[in-house]
Amino acid sequence: MRVALVCAVTMVMASCDETEAEPSIEAEGEVEAEAEDADDAVSPEFSTCEQLDAECRDEAICDVWTCGGPPALYNHGGCPRTPCASNDDCGSGESCYPRVYGGPCLSSEVRCAGVDGACECEPSDDCDGTLDAHCLPVSVYDPANYCDPSSIACADLPAWMSALQQAAAEHDVAAPEMAASLRACAAQAADAAQGC
């Protein structure tokens, strides 16, 4: 018999009690959902995250903006991810992920605020997010898999390669190992572009 965690979450803290749960048909579908949202387990509870307005609490941000996935500025619970310049800026079990791995053009900022009782988010009109990085849990996102040319459309590979090289130059001083990995990824992008 499996054991499930039943959690009661308040705006101050979350408490969990173990209860026995019978297997159900829904459980199989839940496994896939849990895999997609796995970084929730190692990210701060949403109630502990700093948000600008009450309208954007309780995962409301995720209703109007993309949450979760390595390049996203918010995790699946709507918590902003911690910016970093190198792995030294991240906690134990985390790695500094350059957002450029997610594509050739990423907004550097998403401004979310309450408007007429609802949460609204607006991205900055730039691609400077490719120069940024944030901390990700390595138990969920393996740094060895950060570079994935197959996730980028063929038409976007040249721009992605250029963005990778620019990001590498940005991180040369603070994180030379990260910069080397970015240049290696740019080389993979060039090889992938030749195969298109």
Could you read off the pLDDT of 168-186 as tens digits, one per residue?
Answer: 999 999 899 999 999 999 9
Backbone angles phi, psi at 60, to 5 degrees: -60, -30
The per-residue pLDDT for 129 is 92
Highest mean pLDDT among 19-23, 79-83, 147-151: 147-151
Bridge-partner residues for 112, per DSSP? 121
Q: What is the mean pLDDT of residues 16-38?
A: 37
Identify the DSSP state of 57.
T
* pLDDT above 90: residue 29: no
Mean per-residue pLDDT of the chain? 77
d(CA 80, CA 102): 17
d(CA 82, CA 174): 17
Quick one: pLDDT band at residue 27, thresholds 50, 70, 90? very low
* pLDDT above 80: residue 25: no
56 and 79 Cβ atoms separated by less than 8 Å: no
Quick one: pLDDT band at residue 117, thresholds 50, 70, 90? confident
* Angle, helix 157-171 to helix 176-194, in steps of 10 degrees: 170
Rg of the chain, C-alpha, whole Å? 19
Q: What is the mean pLDDT of residues 20-26?
A: 34
* pLDDT above 80: residue 19: no
* pLDDT above 80: residue 51: no
- Residue 43 burial by CB count (10 A; 0-12/13-18/19+): exposed, middle or buried? buried
Q: Closest by alpha carbon to 134, among 77, 166, 187, 178?
A: 178
